[in-house]
Structure 1
Amino acid sequence: MGDGIVVARGFADAPRTAVGALLLLILITGCGTGAGSGGSGGGRVSADGPSRSAEQSPPVEVRRDRGPVLRRFPQLGNITGVEWASAPLGSGSSRVPGPTDFRLSGVATLAEADVRRLQAEYHWVPGQASPAVLEVIAPKVPAGTSWQMSEGFTSAVTGDVYTATFGLDPATGVMVFDAVNPTVADGA
């Protein structure tokens, strides 16, 4: 009879032991599935640190709708055409909720009247090179242009709240823009 009690206690402890072993297994395997860990997360390690897998970051698409650009940069005036893209910065993490920084780059064609207005309202100086943009926008930036930059225009657009670069080619009416976390303008 004493053996029956020991056996019964062994069976009674079995569910707790199994649950504990299962939790330990989940903890151990959960630590090895993130990007760059060598687990099955699909990430890879580079000199810059872990990168996001294709499953985690959607491809950056080039868009042509004017609304989002004009809500952020109403100072551009009448845009007759635009190609732009937005991409999150950094790898982000589902473990740490919160806002994600993003970069917005594009090429806009301005109406002639707005090119003249911008030239009259702001002091423009020759730029060293075209503004850096997202990789998908780079082929859209016209080559061989004489980019003009204006600190006053940049400050008017950003309100000195976020960073951005704007390059204007007055001859073609093309404005190249690149901004990090551009906010929607008041009243837009």
Structure 2
Amino acid sequence: MTGLGRRGVLSLGAAVVLAACTSTTKGADSGGEVRTDVKPLERRFPALGPLSRAHWLGTALGTDSRGSVPGPTDVRVVGTARLRAGAVAALTAAPHRSFQPGTPSRVPDELVEFMPAGARWVCSDTFDRDMTGERYSGAFLLDPGTDTVYFDTTNPRVSAGSGP
């Protein structure tokens, strides 16, 4: 880098930082690609059983336009998936879970069209703790009418024994 001098190096560094900030903000504003593969979800949420009709996003946190920086590895995994017929009824039948009516919050724009129409969501703090094992944060809402789950998690871990 001979010939650039101190000012040249500083200018180049400033340009790199500005380009990085610009591309990060643009990526966050343009939204993520909706995924439909179920295997990553089944490995993270095995208690839900086999899943189908999944629509979800995996988004790195800290890349939004507000400039928040939760951490370099924080990933929000949010979306919907269909459980096998009758699975939601079986999950909500456990009296110790005390399911109550709920409403999904912060649904990404990319997922709104995949939310079941007329859903009657229920949620339970106990069920959330059972699902996360208290190793990561997450909320799980269930719709008994469509056997659909809405999940909104941060850094969901692959369950032990579910493969790589």
Provide the residue aligned with 1:136 in structure 2: 110
The alpha-carbon deviation at position 80 of structure 1 amounts to 3.0
Q: Give the whole-Å Cα distance in 1 for the aligned partners of 2:32 and 2:74.
A: 15
Distance 1:119 1:42, change over 3 A: closer
Provide the rounded CA distance (Å) in 1 between the counterparts of 2:29 and 2:119: 33
**Preserved CA contact (<8 Å) 1:71 1:185:** yes
Unaligned runs of 5+ in 2: 65-70
Correspondence 1:125 to 2:100: yes
Displacement after TM superposition at 1:33 (Å): 1.4
Contact 2:49 2:83 in 1 (8 A): yes
User: Does the alignment pair 1:177 with 2:159?
Assistant: no
| TM-superposed deviation, 1:69 | 0.3
**Which structure ranks higher in relative contact order (CA pairs < 8 Å, sequence separation ≥ 6)?**
2
Amino acid at match of 1:119: T
CA contact (8 A) 1:78 1:114 kept: no
Q: Distance in 1 between matches of 2:28 and 2:90?
A: 43
- For 2:67, the equivalent position in structure 1 comes to none
Counterpart contact for 2:128–2:139, Cα < 8 Å? yes
Give the conservation status (yes or no) of the 8 Å contact 2:132–2:138.
yes
Distance 1:181 1:133 in 2: 17
RMSD over equivalenced CA pairs, Å: 2.9
Gaps of 5+ in 1: 1-17, 45-50, 93-97
Question: How has the CA–CA distance of structure 1 residues 31 and 182 changed in structure 2, closer, same or farther, with 3 Å as cutoff?
Answer: same
Aligned pair partner of 2:87 in 114, 130, 151: 114
Larger radius of gyration: 1
Aligned-pair distance for 1:55? 7.2
Deviation track 1:100-135 (CA, whole Å, cap 9, x = no partner) reads 2111011111112312220123321111x2232333
What is the percent sequence identity of the aligned residues? 32
CA shift in 2, pair 1:31/1:56, >3 Å: farther
Contact 2:31 2:110 in 1 (8 A): no
Pick one of 113, 120, 126 that aligns with 1:146. 120
Deviations for 1:143-167, whole angstroms, at most 9, x for unmatched residues?
4322100111110111111111111
| TM-score, normalised by the number of residues in structure 2 | 0.79
Instruction: Map 1:35-74; keep pairs closer than 5 Å.
Output: 37=18, 41=19, 43=21, 52-54=24-26, 60-74=32-46
TM-score normalised to structure 1 length: 0.70
Counterpart in 2 of 1:80? Answer: 52
Match of 2:74 in 1: 101
Greater Cα shift, 162-171 or 138-147: 138-147
